[in-house]
Amino acid sequence: MTPGERDVAELVAALTRVVPDFPEPGVLFRDLTPVLADDRGFAAVTEALARIVDGVDLVAGIDARGFLLAGAVAHRLGIGVLAVRKGGKLPPPVHSRSYTLEYGTATLEIPAGAIELAGRRVAIIDDVLATGGTVAAARDLLTDAGAVVTGAALVLELAALGGRQLLDPLAVRSLQIV
């Protein structure tokens, strides 16, 4: 880890709010909202994520905090952003993928036919990597639509939950690992 990467990781750690027993007992929720609301934190995080994914044609942000991050990263890189939405939020037709997360199940969707993804190099951006199910579903959804998924860039990784292993061999970079 370079000194600059260490600085970003320390800033993320200092600004993250830890909430025990949310959304259910036994879950230690890491709330990155304070990181995103802090001008220095938001700038440092989006700049670091942009360095990680530089060279792609499009970034895909996962609903909902991933939208904020991916939009800022896309703006920094001068490229477009694709919102990977929670199920039922987009008009048909859609491509969808259901998956399991650490405290339930969910579905992700992207527009079918509205955006040409075939052959485009796409990086996935999200806030937290936990069990890996959300990022894996986004990867599979994009790949099925013809995109070449180059990797995933995340702000925070919960290493004990093993999400990185589920994504192997996808390149995964996290700004902070706890």
Active-site residue list:
65, 102
* Spatial distance between the Cα atoms of 17 and 156, rounded to a whole number of angstroms: 12
Q: Residues near 166 by Cβ (< 8 Å), separated by ≥ 6?
A: 131, 132, 133, 136
Task: Identify the helix (H) or strand (E) that includes residue 77.
Answer: helix 65-77
Tokens 């199940």 correspond to 105
User: Cβ(61)–Cβ(68) under 8 Å?
Assistant: yes
Give which of 14, 122, 151 is closest to 59, Cα–Cα: 122
DSSP annotation of 2 reads -
Judge if the upstream peptide bond of residue 169 is cis by omega within 30 degrees of 0: yes
